Amino acid sequence: MPPDIAMRNAMFDLQKGRYREAIGAFQMVWGNDRAPVMMRSDALSNAAVCHLRLHEWKSAEDSARAAVEMDPAHVDAWFNLAGSLKEQGQVLDALHAFRKVCELHPQRMDGWRYRAELAEGLGLWEEAVDAWSVVYQKMANGRAFEGRIVCMVHAGKAPLVDEETALYLDQHKTENLARYLRVLVLSDLQRFDEAVVLTHKMHGPAVDQLVAWVLIHAGYLIEARERVKGLPECARAHALRIMAAEGPEVIERIADALTYLSTPRKDHPQDIADLHFRLARIAEEQSTPAAAMQHYHAAHRIMAVSQPFSEEGHHQLDTWIRLRPWLQLAPPAPRDGPQWIFIVGMPRSGTTLLEQILDMHPAFHGAGELHDMATVAQRYYATGNGEAVLQACDAFSRKGSNLAPRAAWCIDKMPHNFVHAGMILHLFPRARVIWCRRDRMDNCTSIYRQHFRGIHPYAHDLGTLGRYFRWHEEVMEGYREDYPQRVLEVSYEALVDDMPGTVTDLLRALGKDWDPACARFYENPRRILTASQGQVNKPIYRDTVGSWKRYRDYVEPLLLEEPVMSDSANESQRR
């Protein structure tokens, strides 16, 4: 039978729901070497559809995979491959296939929607935000709006959707979704009193979890315990019960949680990780570091699945940094008004503390963790579009004047901007970079013990964390050599040992004198949302110096000195 006739017969059987007959007819097409390649790949892709409708997931995968091998640009085949992998629980592979669908056919919204859902389920918040944004721009439905806001909050970007959710609630006062999203954002911003007002008429299992969390943080523990009573058995419920408990009941709730974790569960992996982090903190309070580290290890093993560290991707980034491609761009003309200071370094190295101190000085304005430069650098890395970089940098220069028109310096405290510090210093000729440094063992141990928001793939394995720390030192030492007068260093240990002296030296380098208000940094009314919130709201204490020694027996992999890339790779890329 000619392949075109066999193809028509197969499609007719598929449309009539005769899937077995259709598979046989499609096989006649793809098995015919004389048939056009496109027709054969179409036959394989449609056979995958038949297998999917018969719930034959592995057969569907085999057919779809054969189709994309025959025609790598076959969008439907990639979509069917993604669907078959998703049904088999191979979520990361399915996500990769949906990425391919979006790449090949950007207008296909079902590809973006599935990509968003899978990325959200894996805790890949940044990718989920981008995917939900595409769906919302095209379709403007409630699910896409909800997905984007929820993922923005999980990515640590609640400040960016504060006004948007307030406006949405104002326009949809009676909608539960509008109220839920507003409470979610307010609670993440730690504006619990505002959030509590909106919770009174909110009910339902998912809503009760959020409401209980808000009530706990607002201090309404009795009301919170009432909310959690009716929650179905799950990791989140156990975490909330521990948080709401008082007195002897706390021990009972901890025991319940440990029992729950002793057998495999179907909770979202992130919820299990959250519970492990909470139990680790409790174990630390009970002075049982071994138990604490067991929970930290368990949490990081879970998070490493959704946040895998890519050695290959990291090596590519390292190569790009060492090539310094931004040097070919002419910096925008400097603008009048406050100039930018970028406080960088590893997380938990004192960046928040230093910003809080400087913000008390009348010449400085702390703008918090801004995502602008990271976004600019990531897009430049991906596209090489230098013109877009220059436009974004010019807009960022104006942003300083809008934020603090009377200040001399405006501070962007985004620790991981250390990766982009060279580009920043080149494109902002009047800017300064302050590099916060801390003892490697203290810094890395503190990172490992911290449950960060957002994505930190390097943090989920002690060996990788140690090597990443050394890489960060190499990167910053290179930038310091390039800009010796504009990269300033602040030691965490020096800061806590002699804060006035250390800050005075830093201020002199920035053309300013000491101001007594800096000593009262803990009275700063700024709302701190980072992991260092507890430290910056009280006078400096020195307990954190040498704190890693309590975990000496459990952090041996951190003793590795080698950076992430091999020495030979580093040497070949060294400038």
Q: Judge if 242 and 100 occupy the same domain.
A: no
Q: Judge if 160 and 289 occupy the same domain.
A: no
Q: Judge if 335 and 299 occupy the same domain.
A: no
Q: Judge if 107 and 10 occupy the same domain.
A: yes
DSSP string of 114-143, one letter each residue: HHHHHHHHTT-HHHHHHHHHHHHHHH--HH
Residue type present at position 425: L
* CA atoms of 125 and 135, how far apart (whole Å): 15
| CATH number for position 70 | 1.25.40.10
Residue 574 falls within a domain, yes or no?
A: no
Residue 564 falls within a domain, yes or no?
A: no
What dihedral angle (degrees, nearest 10) is formed by the CA atoms of 151, 157, 159, 162?
Answer: -10
Comparing C-alpha atoms, which of 414, 411, 291, 437 is closest to residue 357? 411
Residue 388 falls within a domain, yes or no?
A: yes
Residue type present at position 64: A
Residue 224 falls within a domain, yes or no?
A: no
User: What ranges in 264-310 are assigned the alpha helix state H?
Assistant: 269-285, 289-306
Based on the structure, what is the number of domains in the chain?
A: 3
Residue type present at position 341: I
The two three-digit tokens of residue 299, written as one number: 């949490």
Residue 75 falls within a domain, yes or no?
A: yes
522-526 long-range contacts (CB < 8 A, ≥24 apart) are 522/356, 523/360, 524/356, 524/359, 524/360, 526/356, 526/359, 526/366, 526/368
What global pTM score does this model have?
A: 0.73
What stretch of H or E contains 381?
A: helix 372-383
Residue 183 falls within a domain, yes or no?
A: yes
pLDDT at 535: 54
Comparing C-alpha atoms, which of 31, 28, 10 is closest to residue 19? 10
How confident is the prediction along the chain (575 residues), in pLDDT tens digits per residue?
788 888 999 999 999 999 999 999 999 999 888 889 999 999 999 999 999 999 999 999 999 999 999 999 999 999 999 999 999 888 888 999 999 999 999 999 999 999 999 988 877 788 899 999 999 999 988 899 999 999 999 877 888 899 999 999 999 988 889 999 999 999 988 898 899 888 887 877 778 888 888 999 888 899 899 889 888 899 999 999 999 999 999 999 999 999 999 999 989 888 999 999 999 999 999 999 999 999 999 999 999 987 889 899 899 999 999 999 999 999 988 888 899 999 999 999 999 999 999 999 999 999 888 878 988 898 898 788 999 999 999 999 999 888 888 999 999 999 999 999 999 999 999 999 999 999 999 999 999 999 987 779 999 999 999 999 999 999 999 999 999 999 999 999 999 999 999 999 999 999 999 999 999 988 876 555 554 545 555 667 778 898 999 999 999 898 765 555 544 344 433 34
Q: Judge if 266 and 392 occupy the same domain.
A: no
Q: Judge if 269 and 337 occupy the same domain.
A: no
Pairing outcome for strands 339-345 and 409-413: parallel
Q: Judge if 179 and 119 occupy the same domain.
A: yes
Phi, psi (5° rounding) for residue 112? Answer: -65, -40
* CA atoms of 302 and 300, how far apart (whole Å): 5
pLDDT at 574: 38
Q: Judge if 116 and 206 occupy the same domain.
A: yes
Residue type present at position 116: A
pLDDT at 544: 85
Residue type present at position 159: P
The two three-digit tokens of residue 354, written as one number: 């230093």
pLDDT at 344: 98
pLDDT at 164: 95
The two three-digit tokens of residue 262, written as one number: 């002793």
Q: Judge if 398 and 537 occupy the same domain.
A: yes
Q: Is the CB of residue 51 less than 8 Å from the CB of residue 60? A: yes
* CA atoms of 236 and 510, how far apart (whole Å): 47
pLDDT at 571: 43
Q: Judge if 194 and 272 occupy the same domain.
A: no
pLDDT at 44: 95
Residue 568 falls within a domain, yes or no?
A: no
Beta sheet of 409-413, edge-to-edge order: 364-366, 409-413, 339-345, 432-437, 487-491
Q: Judge if 301 and 369 occupy the same domain.
A: no
Q: Which residue has the tokens 């009760």?
A: 208
The two three-digit tokens of residue 566, written as one number: 């091999």
In the three-class reduction of DSSP (H, G, I as helix; E, B as strand; rest coil), residue 413 is classed as strand
Q: Judge if 523 and 488 occupy the same domain.
A: yes
Q: Residue 439's domain spans which residues?
A: 328-558
* CA atoms of 128 and 372, how far apart (whole Å): 19
